[in-house]
Structure 1
Amino acid sequence: MNAHTPRHPSLYEVNARVLLRRLARERGRRLTLDEIPESWLAQLARCGFSWIYLMGAWETGEAGRRVSGSNEEWLRGYRDVLPDLREEDICGSPFAVCGYSLHPDLGEPEALVQFRKRLHRVGLLLMLDLVPNHTAPDHPWVRDHPDYYVRDTDGNLAHGRDPHSGGWPDTLQLDYANPALAEAMTAEMQKIAGQCDGLRCDMAMLVLPEVFHRTWGREMEPFWPGAIENVRREHPDFVFMAEVYWDLEWTLQEQGFDYTYDKRLYDRLRNGTARPVRDHLRADSEYQDKSVRFLENHDEDRAAAVFSPEQHRAAAILAFLSRGLRFFHEGQFSGRQKKTSVHLCREPEEPVDPAIEEFYRRLVACLRLPAFQDGKWRFLDCNPAWEGNPSHDGYIAFAWEHEGRRYIVTVNYAPDRGQCYVPLPWRDLAGKTVRLRDLISPARYDRDGEALLSPGLFLDIPGWGRHVFEVAGEEG
């Protein structure tokens, strides 16, 4: 694939099993990856996405599905989302993998090869999952290589877990203290790398030596640097994205990951206070470029349920117009509010929210602009509008520039109206009349360039208000 991949790309997550079940209901028959409409793929490409993350592509077994369908706590959660729950709606967790081959429900193995080719033809790359910490109970390794697994104090194979949980009963824990297991997992990664363009590595921090030791009391050699290097010898452009928490993002970036989840930004946006968000966005440049910005994914609650409508829009502007990889989740654009468990292959019917849909249409149009994909980013100061007015502390502002096109993003990330001055960074605006055109609303303003440099652009906007201004100077 020769298409340019932006420095700050956008990714679209879709649950493969839910998507095909929905399309099957519309068509009245079972469908496979081969039958996902070309128009759907082309539309995602036209929206400016670089990546499709196809979650749930791999083979899962009957053992995991039985656990998913018999755990009473999980069943209560399913019924909260699907009151008319049926047995066939429970397909088992896609993270209880019993083999890195396409799940038979999605088609024959060749269907994945063809799906990737179809993506490439419209300029999209394919990301799939790697689940390094554990397998399904009926993975072939359980039978052929039981030494690949951790045993509990009773001598039984232990369930996969992290240091803070009691374990996931539909999984078995892999033992990275065994070098043979690390070698086998690296071989699996090489195999997968021939089927896609990147991997989302599930709970990647669990196989860091310090975390593995804290969880299991066992020593292991570092896994990620060697495994990533091994894959890249054959696939030099292959991309690794880590699901990671507990402030271990930088550690995994140093070990070779191209991108790491930015849960810290999500939590600060959810908290609704500007200063921690502003401080976070001032972090090291390389760290920012490798951060994955999101407001929801299959693990988090739906953004439309978490945030009020206006805060949702403000948070989206900050998350997705910042630098890094922009991660969107299917259903986010239509304002879905119900989170569907990954154990299910059917989602509830929900009406589209036309207001949030129109907002995301405008936001995605911004992300198609070269400046937001490959431009130069800089943070901007937000100064008091007058002495004794502290409301400027609720503002966050930054600028993008690329090949003469300039944009400023301003958000009042606070619940109350506020005022501030934002000095623009471009000295050549002096002596010009400057046209400010908002890309997310009909607002248009003409301002004196000298005044925009000092004291700056005056803003007086309501709580959660936002602008994405194109800045164009004309000779005065």
Structure 2
Amino acid sequence: MKKYSLHFLTLVLAGICACTPAENGNKEAKKAEEPKEATFPQLAGNMTIYEVNIRQFTPEGTFKAFNEHLPRLKELGTEILWFMPIQPIGEKNRKGTLGSYYSIKDYEAVNPEFGTLEDFKATVDKAHELGMYVILDWVPNHTAWDHPWITKHPEYYAKDSLGNITYEADWTDIALLDHTRPETRKKMIDAMRFWINETDIDGFRCDHAGHEIPLYFWEEATAALDPLKDLFWLAEWDEPRMHLELDATYNWSILHATEDVAKGKHTADELYESIEKDLAHYGHSPFRLLMTTNHDENAWAGTVFERYGEGHKAFAVFTFTIYGIPMIYSGQEVGLNKRLAFFEKDSINWHDEKGLTDFYKKLVSLRKNNAALWSGQYGGVPAKIDVDNENVLAYSRKKDGNEVLVILNLSNQQQEIAQNAELSGSHQNYMTGEQVDLSGLKTLKPYEYIVIIK
């Protein structure tokens, strides 16, 4: 231990005594005023999620090849990269030639088709250097039939009435796990811990988060893993209870409601009714994932052009501005115009023939720079503006002096609108740069969208 001279100690004591109670109080007040560094979910409040399909992203289908795209994705403005499962895929009962990402053969290994564990670490590190975050698609619901647990720990699995390990629906390439068993939950959490410790990922997109998985699994998982690192949790599930433990949930209901409007089955007014019901059900605080496409929609339901037609941009504006946290799927920003094969190699064409990159870049920037559009409690609540036309949706969101006004014609026909006191003055349409006289706005072109920052 260091020995201090009496003279030094005297000086220190004198300095302490010299501080008056008022000065001490001022110091404490100043310390209290210092802004705290944001953590998840607040940290993600103004971010956009980007789903990465490694197999189809490049002709090589590897992490190293994907890394060349990272600067472009940074330029696009997306900040959370969600990687579809990167583990080895089961061979027993495999679907197609390459199999499903979601048939996991080994939770703590990397699919050799994509590269090595060190390759993935390098990808995460490069993303972090660019100020981006990485969340890993996690599949706790089931494994492949040739996962070692099948023979070593059959007690981890769900059984049918005859005692045989079972599977879900027609997904014959997967074996269903039983998370009512403590040992199953423990092994699963251990595997998740591996990826945080070994690769420094920033969270998980939780596949089938509520299907055959009790909520207490997520209670145990977050309790065990959150102390390791500030993590973001996205649940592929549309149920309020998930928000007791996780940060964001899928808004399947609004996705399908937009598709119904695009097909002419419902009106824009009915879409807004769905929004009101969703907010009443979930409240204003939870993050709700909004999108017009993802790997499932693209592969099984069709491209955005098949499902939304010429209205794909108007519905994208809707998902980026109404509320929640938006997502872009691999290739969406360059007009992905084919259904990517799910079990085969089917590379994305990165030629932006429709010129959509700037469009999506504008949307990402719009949310990032306008607090009114941030997610959950960090943004403003949408307020509908009556324009007396069931096919036109107009709304505004306000937060901390920031207001964003959105007017959308969600039909393929020209629409007339009634004047409203909230529609006044001449403003610049953020999306086009053109001036719009709201006071004289009477008609909207098919699928026209107007976004005004006040």
Q: TM-score, normalised by structure 1?
A: 0.75
Structure 1's 415 and 184: CA in aligned 2 closer, same or farther, altered over 3 A? same
- Cα distance in 1, alignment partners of residues 178 and 386 from structure 2: 54
Aligned-partner Cα distance in 2 for 1:223–1:129: 17
Distance 1:381 1:202, change over 3 A: closer
The match for 1:234 is 228
Residue type at the aligned position of 1:9: M
Q: Does 1:382 align with 2:374?
A: no
Pick from 417, 427, 447 the counterpart of residue 464 of structure 1: 447
Partner of 1:33: 63
1:258-407 correspondence to structure 2 within 5 Å: 258-272=247-261, 273-282=267-276, 283-284=279-280, 286-287=283-284, 289-300=286-297, 301-309=302-310, 311-347=311-347, 352-354=352-354, 356-371=356-371, 372-373=373-374, 376-384=379-387, 390-391=388-389, 393-401=390-398, 405-407=402-404
Give every structure 1 segment of 4 or more consecutive aligned residues whose post-TM-superposition deviation is greater than 6 Å.
none
- Could you tell me the TM-score, scaled by structure 2's length? 0.79
**Correspondent of 2:95 among 68, 73, 76:** 68
Aligned-pair CA distance for 1:348 = 6.8
Q: Where does residue 443 of structure 1 map in the other structure?
A: 434
How many angstroms apart in 1 are the aligned matches of 2:106 and 2:52?
20
In 2 relative to 1, CA 62–306 (structure 1 residues): closer, same or farther, beyond 3 Å?
Answer: same
Amino acid at match of 1:443: E
The SS at the match of 1:333 is helix
Please name the residue that 1:97 is paired with. Answer: 104
Which of 187, 190, 193 is the equivalent residue of 2:190? 187
Is 1:122 aligned with 2:111? no
Q: Aligned partners of 1:357 and 1:115: how far apart in 2? A: 23
Contact 1:418/1:463, CA 8 A, preserved across alignment: no
- Pick aligned residue for 1:169 from 163, 167, 172: 172
Amino acid at match of 2:104: V
Aligned to 2:243: 253
Give the letter aligned to residue 464 of structure 1.
Y
**Consecutive unaligned residues in structure 2, runs of 5 or more:** 1-36, 262-266
Partner of 1:75: none
Q: Secondary structure at the match of 1:206?
A: coil
Contact 1:14-1:54 within 8 A present in 2 as well? yes
Q: CA deviation at 1:357?
A: 4.6
Q: Find the residue that maps to 2:211 and give its secondary structure.
A: helix
Partner of 2:209: 204
8 Å contact from structure 1 (residues 298, 339) kept in 2: no
Kindly indicate whether residue 117 of structure 2 is the aligned counterpart of residue 109 of structure 1: yes
CA distance in 1, matches of 2:384, 2:348: 44
Provide the rounded CA distance (Å) in 2 between the counterparts of 1:13 and 1:290: 17
CA contact (8 A) 1:3 1:123 kept: no
Distance in 2 between the 1:144 and 1:157 partners?
Answer: 13
**Counterparts of 1:381 and 1:200, CA distance in 2:** 32
Deviates more, 1:351-360 or 1:128-137: 351-360
Contact 1:8 1:289 (C-alpha < 8 Å) held by counterparts: no
User: Percent of pairs identical after alignment?
Assistant: 23
- In the alignment, is the contact (CA less than 8 A) between 1:151 and 1:158 conserved in 2? yes
Q: Which amino acid in the other structure matches residue 242 of structure 1?
A: A
Distance in structure 1 (CA, Å) of the matches to 2:240 and 2:204: 18
Q: Following TM superposition, by how much is the alpha carbon of 1:242 offset from its aligned partner in structure 2, in angstroms?
A: 0.9
Match of 1:319, SS state, is helix
Q: Tell whether the 8 Å contact from 2:54 to 2:66 is kept in structure 1 after alignment.
A: no
> Aligned partner of 2:394: which letter?
A
Q: Report the structure number with the largest CA radius of gyration.
A: 2
Contact 1:132 1:207 in 2 (8 A): no
- Cα distance change on mapping 1:380 and 1:420 into 2, 3 Å: farther
Seen in structure 2, the aligned counterparts of structure 1 residues 138 and 242 have a Cα distance that, compared at 3 Å, is same
Q: Please state how far the C-alpha of 1:329 moved relative to its aligned partner.
A: 0.5
Q: Cα deviation per residue 1:206-245 (whole Å; 9 max; x = unaligned)? A: 1344xxxxxxxxxxx832222222211322x21111111x
1:118-165: per-residue Cα shift (whole Å, max 9, x none)? Answer: 101001101111111110111111121111112334433222x1xxx3
User: Hey, what's the Cα distance between the residues in 2 that align with 1:9 and 1:205?
Assistant: 25
Q: Is the 8 A contact 1:288 1:323 kept in 2?
A: no
Q: Secondary structure at the match of 1:185?
A: helix
